[in-house]
Structure 1
Amino acid sequence: MCRASHPLPSSRVISALAALALVLAGCGLLDSAPDPDPAAEAFAQGWQEGGIPDALLAASASAETVNEILENTAAQLGGDPIVEVRTVERDEQGDGATARLALTWTLPAGAWSYETTVPLVLGQDEEGWQVVWSTSVLHPELTEGQWLRSRSVVPERATILDADDQPLFTPLPVVHIGVEPQAVENLDQVLAVLADLVGIDPGPLRERVEAAAPDVFVDVITLRQEDFEPVRAALEPVPGLLFREGERPLAPTTGFARALLGRVGAPTAEVLEEARPGFGPGDELGLSGLQRQFQEQLSGRPGSEVVVVSAEGEALGPVYETAPNFGAPLRTTLVPEIQNAADAAVVDAATPSMIVAIRPSSGEVVAVAHGPDGGGANSAFTGQYPPGSSFKVVTSAALFAAGVEADEMVECPETATIFGRSFRNAEGGAFGTVPYREAFARSCNTTFVELTPRLPDEVMAQAAGGFGFGGDWSPGIPGFTGQVPPPQDDVERAASMIGQGRVLASPLLMASVTAAVADGNWRPPVLLPDHAQPGAGPVALDPATVDALQEMMRQVVEAGTGTTVAGVPGEPVHAKTGTAEYGDEDPPRTHAWFIGYQGDLAFAVLVEDGEAGGSVAGPVAARFLEQFPRG
């Protein structure tokens, strides 16, 4: 008679029982023993779906034991396998059979497939077939007590290169500071010391420490070795603090182009989710900047390894392995010596400040600096700021195209009312009737707005486009290419003449504007040679316009608003200052600009909430040029 089946261990094996029913359906109804194929199919289906019913197993093993082994293996290998029955063959006696199964596991590096054999025996009274379980069913190379463990083989991270293809990130010694909860005597003391010496927010850290297991290393911060040494003596005596030395890919200095390049470290959950499969919490991944934007290129693809582990936990050897795919270096155009000078120029800034430096002859971006703390976002590329009077370089090119001449006599009153709105010079003052070139050098807003009727909108748009405004170019990463929209009314048209209204630019764009004056050609900026998009560039500027702009920008330094860089060593500096109003406050807040070039180095300096371009951004430009190595 047919034997009643045992209750299933879980709902996950309902489908397996359905298949098993096919095995038992013929019990007692056929003169010959039932076919073993349905039993093999039921076993394969139960394995694949996470549950083997007890009735399908011979007395040598229980469903609880087998399912626990399969569940643990699935946890180690990342999920249940796909199991297919290839063949089922009965032995000559007819009471035994062997099923050949094909298994496919999905590992981070790809699929791992192999075949295994499953012995089956005919149950008592020939009532049905059952599987004779052993560890070798899991994998042919396993013996009793052994199990499988997988791990990712993470490749060494590729680096970011400078303009000479030299690594910008190299392995440097670091110290990982952490808290061991069970060793803490006074948590308030630990939090206070860490907040004071390394700037940790005590609130979130308290929550993490209190929620952690007693013997866990609660990671706090990782410091460069040279940054750890000054605080070592104060930190080491504090009970509960632990210190682990190691290495991490780091830029030359803490602030070196940090907002642009980003940093590498232990990944957050969000970063880990973005990364390719195979990386874990203990791996090093890009957390920000280029390191994160080009994660896949730099990190490569992990390989996989499956090893046999003894009952004592000893790894005995691999049964499967696939090599990782190494990442590729990311080429940049940065020049470390120039970058260091730019970083040093903004490190002590009172408000967020930035510098972008470009080679006019090539359009290559050689430095991108943010101060005072290295910056978070890469605002030098993506920021959208009114350019203020630095935009008068573009306006002048448009006015020359419309017929204005550099030596033409113009008025520079203290204020000018245009279309019902009053405009004034940013730093006050009135200079009477002067040549246009002097009005430019002294940054006379009133002169420019009074020339509004002489500049058709289409001529302004064409001139701005020739300097890259609104173009579809890209330096290789996101960057704001500016906007000079058609004016909505006459007042906005006048405001656009002095880089106000809805005119917006990024420091990257304004550095390319002054580079165009230096070279005579506007070239789309390039930071990542393998990823940059040139758009419609380069654009040749009118030679006469270039000559006039070069002369006027030199006059800014010699006798205008940019005299702060007059004493800089080396070739003559050409510049234009800008004070850009923004917001709705009265009086409005301002950003300070200073753009210019010296030889084959063009730059743009922006100081957020700076009072005036010449007096605030100018000294930053001077520090940059003075520290720039020559010869």
Structure 2
Amino acid sequence: MASKRGRSLTLVVVALVAILGLVGVATAVYLSRSGESSPRRDPRRPGVDVEDPAVVAADRFAAAVTSGDFTGIKVSDPTLTSAQVGEQVDLMLTGMLTGGAARPTVEVSKVVRGTGENSDTAQATTRITWKLPGGQSWTYDTYWTLIDFLEAKGAEREWRVSLSVDRLFPAEANGGVVRMVRVPVARGRILDSTGRPLVAGGGRVTVGIRRSRTTDPEGTARKAAALTGVDAEELLARVLAAGPDEFVTVATLDRPAYDLIRAEIQPLPGTVFTEQAAETDLPAGFAKGVLGSVGPATAEIASASDGKVVEGDLTGLSGVQQARNPQLAGEPGMRIEAVSTDPAATVTSLKEYPGRPGTDVTVTLDAAVQMAADATLATSSQPVALVAVRVSTGDVIAVANGPAGSAGYNRAFLNRYPPGSTFKVVSALAYLEGGLGPDDIVSCPATVVAGKRFRNAGGFALGDVPFRRAFARSCNTTIVAHSDSITSQQLTDTARLLGFRDLDGELGMDVFGTEVPVTDNETMHAANTIGQGKVEASALTVALMAGSVANGSSLMPRLFLDPGAPAPVMGPALPAPAVASLREMMRDVVTDGTGSALEGVPGGPVHAKTGTAEFGTDDPPRSHAWITGWQGDIAFAVVVEDGGGGGAVAGPVAAAFLRALAGG
């Protein structure tokens, strides 16, 4: 029995082996007929054999369009080199790329080979995605034809894409030139705290069409629509429906936006233009340096904008216009359109993205104070800057630059100067806090040695006098002689409270500001106490210094009044007894010292400190002229570049400013 069962089991095993052998033969036959191996699939593209030569050709071409690298790429036209293929594709894409789109991403989703007579062709379905400015995107499907190509007898056959512009864009483009058009939006205004527009300009321009003035109203309408970014079909319908002499509005543009297209749109037959009056009655050039300017974006600006600005866009180039450009500019609309290549140049809209108009920005500038500052500096023959701040709040109420021809450069914020003797306000506050009294007797010799010899301007000497007298006459040697009574760190800390610090973050736009460097060098520390050495400041910094003394707390500058922003914030309080003495001493500068140019100006008592800041290597050294101080609720600083003595040169400028404020 066991023997019979064994023979039966053996027969079953033999039978199974025979069956498996037959299956193996069948499998081998199948593989030999269909290829070396089974198709290799891409999990992202079900049903696509990624090793199919037609798929490989389509994928390679898609990668080339995406990257811009056409090395080794051939198309069905054998006369085109790889470089020429790349040039032709880039030419087809130019209208999108110059409009600000990033190079498209192309993905092949499937490839279907033809059958029968068409077995030497295949169709690739592709998905093309464009990344557009403002975080937008445009995605569509299109189709490529591939040809099983034999370049020469005896050569190896290969699949190639049939290059055609209508295969890179949706069918609706009908083979036209596809471009992306930026549609301008209204730019926000810059207002003062009362809502008064501050930017003087040419107002807005309304572009219109009168059909009676052109023999080709359709051509004019389409070209005007393309230039202004409005819908061509809608405009054409309105033009054709209107009476012959009726004014049909095309678009109303800000003057800068109109100026960008003026040379192209003005010559169009039938176009007419009306200009609205400017929204402000302020003089041209009002606060130009701080408010800034707008103009076409350069390639450098566009590159640095992370795709938000496209070359040629109207953008802020300086000042508030630049610092708050995202808010003021809004977001331009975009329209993707195809322009037919026939003489009619018919425009077909493929995709539209609505824009977002800019919003207004409110600043702290006071129009009356600013006009007084502008007028004061307009006749200057030397580079000069003036800053005024509100003592009670830290609000920047005037920023003026001169002479008139250079008023667009904001030297008041951007330039750095040694503050010279105006910095004695900082040193004096530190000395007073350390126990030196305003009536304590100090020595004011012609020279003093602190690592090196320091001298007074002009070589004067006062002898032994009260500290307030030495301060009023700006005695360098007194300040230097007491430099060893405070540390360099104490000087830096006091200066920081009075405005010598990084101010960009506080103000919200570019402004020079830096701390006084701490030093272990005796000579450098002594030089720093009189505003030379390594001390640098902008006119804004020096104005904040005077304003802080007047207020009694460290002023935090403010230029922007954003909706919902908190009330002005004061910095740390200054030492009250020392500040009270310093105020008296700064009044003495006007009544009995180097600031006598401010004596008798209308509007209440003026407190001040002058400065003659040496720079360069000339002998005798050249110097910038400074004066800073306050009257009532207005603190100010004036610097005249290469001006000489502060009291003699900057003093009269400040006096003229205060007289202008008082109406005289």
Common topology (TM > 0.5): yes
| Counterpart secondary structure, 2:418 | coil
For 1:133-532, what aligned pairs fall within 5 Å after superposition? Answer: 141-142=171-172, 146-169=176-199, 171-172=201-202, 252-275=282-305, 277=307, 282-310=312-340, 311-372=342-403, 373-375=405-407, 377-413=409-445, 415-419=446-450, 421-427=452-458, 429-470=460-501, 474-528=506-560
Letter in 1 for 2:138: W
Alpha-carbon shift at residue 538 of structure 1 (Å): 0.3
**1:90–1:425 Cα change, 3 Å:** closer
**1:278–1:368 Cα change, 3 Å:** closer
Task: Report the Cα distance in structure 2 between the residues aligned to 1:172 and 1:254, rounded to whole angstroms.
Answer: 10
| Counterpart secondary structure, 1:554 | helix
The answer to whether the 8 Å contact 1:48/1:81 transfers is: no
**1:437–1:151 Cα change, 3 Å:** same
Alpha-carbon shift at residue 490 of structure 1 (Å): 3.9
The answer to whether the 8 Å contact 1:136/1:142 transfers is: no
Q: Deviations over 1:490-520 (max 9, x none)?
A: 4444433322233332221111111011111
The answer to whether the 8 Å contact 2:383/2:640 transfers is: yes
Q: Which segment is superposed worse, 337-346 or 475-484?
A: 475-484
The answer to whether the 8 Å contact 1:267/1:281 transfers is: yes
Match of 1:220 in 2: none
**Equivalent of residue 629 in structure 2, options 588, 596, 599:** 596
Task: Report the Cα distance in structure 2 between the residues aligned to 1:612 and 1:563, rounded to whole angstroms.
Answer: 13
**1:142–1:134 Cα change, 3 Å:** farther
Task: Report the Cα distance in structure 2 between the residues aligned to 1:132 and 1:493, rounded to whole angstroms.
Answer: 77
**1:133–1:388 Cα change, 3 Å:** closer
Q: Deviations over 1:23-62 (max 9, x none)?
A: xx99999xxxxx99864764565366358966599xxxxx
Alpha-carbon shift at residue 618 of structure 1 (Å): 0.5
Alpha-carbon shift at residue 356 of structure 1 (Å): 1.2
**Corresponding position: 1:551 with 2:584:** yes
Alpha-carbon shift at residue 621 of structure 1 (Å): 0.3
Alpha-carbon shift at residue 617 of structure 1 (Å): 0.3
The answer to whether the 8 Å contact 1:41/1:85 transfers is: no
| Counterpart secondary structure, 1:474 | helix
Match of 1:185 in 2: none
Alpha-carbon shift at residue 598 of structure 1 (Å): 0.9
**Equivalent of residue 605 in structure 1, options 634, 638, 652:** 638
The answer to whether the 8 Å contact 2:605/2:631 transfers is: yes
Task: Report the Cα distance in structure 2 between the residues aligned to 1:68 and 1:547, rounded to whole angstroms.
Answer: 75
Q: TM-score, normalised by structure 1?
A: 0.70
**1:475–1:99 Cα change, 3 Å:** closer
Q: Which runs of 5+ in 2 are unaligned?
A: 1-31, 37-48, 151-156, 206-254, 257-272
Task: Report the Cα distance in structure 1 between the residues aligned to 2:308 and 2:437, rounded to whole angstroms.
Answer: 65
Match of 1:195 in 2: none
**Equivalent of residue 76 in structure 1, options 95, 102, 114:** 95
Identity percentage of aligned residues: 40
**1:44–1:327 Cα change, 3 Å:** farther
**Equivalent of residue 539 in structure 1, options 545, 563, 572:** 572
Q: Deviations over 1:603-622 (max 9, x none)?
A: 11111112211110001101
Structure of higher CA gyration radius: 2
The answer to whether the 8 Å contact 2:94/2:179 transfers is: no
Cα RMSD after superposing both structures: 4.7
**1:84–1:573 Cα change, 3 Å:** same
Task: Report the Cα distance in structure 1 between the residues aligned to 2:363 and 2:644, rounded to whole angstroms.
Answer: 34
The answer to whether the 8 Å contact 1:386/1:499 transfers is: yes
**1:540–1:91 Cα change, 3 Å:** same
Alpha-carbon shift at residue 174 of structure 1 (Å): 11
For 1:34-183, what aligned pairs fall within 5 Å after superposition? Answer: 39=54, 42-43=57-58, 45-46=60-61, 49=64, 72-78=91-97, 81-87=104-110, 100-108=125-133, 110-116=136-142, 141-142=171-172, 146-169=176-199, 171-172=201-202
The answer to whether the 8 Å contact 2:391/2:547 transfers is: yes
| Counterpart secondary structure, 1:449 | helix
Letter in 1 for 2:353: T
Q: Which runs of 5+ in 1 are unaligned?
A: 1-24, 30-34, 58-62, 176-222, 225-243
| Counterpart secondary structure, 1:522 | coil
| Counterpart secondary structure, 2:438 | coil
| Counterpart secondary structure, 2:506 | coil
Task: Report the Cα distance in structure 2 between the residues aligned to 1:418 and 1:130, rounded to whole angstroms.
Answer: 87
Q: Which segment is superposed worse, 386-395 or 88-97?
A: 88-97
Task: Report the Cα distance in structure 2 between the residues aligned to 1:516 and 1:425, rounded to whole angstroms.
Answer: 27
The answer to whether the 8 Å contact 1:172/1:249 transfers is: yes
Task: Report the Cα distance in structure 1 between the residues aligned to 2:86 and 2:544, rounded to whole angstroms.
Answer: 66
Alpha-carbon shift at residue 521 of structure 1 (Å): 0.6
The answer to whether the 8 Å contact 1:118/1:137 transfers is: yes
The answer to whether the 8 Å contact 1:257/1:374 transfers is: no
Alpha-carbon shift at residue 600 of structure 1 (Å): 1.0
Alpha-carbon shift at residue 579 of structure 1 (Å): 1.4
Task: Report the Cα distance in structure 1 between the residues aligned to 2:348 and 2:301, rounded to whole angstroms.
Answer: 32
Alpha-carbon shift at residue 74 of structure 1 (Å): 1.9
For 1:573-588, what aligned pairs fall within 5 Å after superposition? Answer: 573-588=606-621
Q: Deviations over 1:119-177 (max 9, x none)?
A: 899999xx9999999987555544866453332224333343434454433551699xx
The answer to whether the 8 Å contact 1:173/1:246 transfers is: yes
Q: Deviations over 1:189-238 (max 9, x none)?
A: xxxxxxxxxxxxxxxxxxxxxxxxxxxxxxxxxx99xxxxxxxxxxxxxx
Q: Deviations over 1:255-306 (max 9, x none)?
A: 4333333322234443344346486665433333343444444434444322
Letter in 1 for 2:414: T
Alpha-carbon shift at residue 575 of structure 1 (Å): 0.9
Q: Which segment is superposed worse, 111-120 or 561-570?
A: 111-120
The answer to whether the 8 Å contact 2:389/2:397 transfers is: yes
Task: Report the Cα distance in structure 2 between the residues aligned to 1:255 and 1:38, rounded to whole angstroms.
Answer: 67
Task: Report the Cα distance in structure 1 between the residues aligned to 2:479 and 2:552, rounded to whole angstroms.
Answer: 23
| Counterpart secondary structure, 1:495 | helix
Q: Deviations over 1:374-405 (max 9, x none)?
A: 35653322333222221221121111122111
The answer to whether the 8 Å contact 1:250/1:264 transfers is: no
Q: TM-score, normalised by structure 2?
A: 0.67
How many residue pairs get aligned? The number is: 530
Match of 1:237 in 2: none
Letter in 1 for 2:449: I
The answer to whether the 8 Å contact 1:277/1:302 transfers is: no
Letter in 2 for 1:116: T
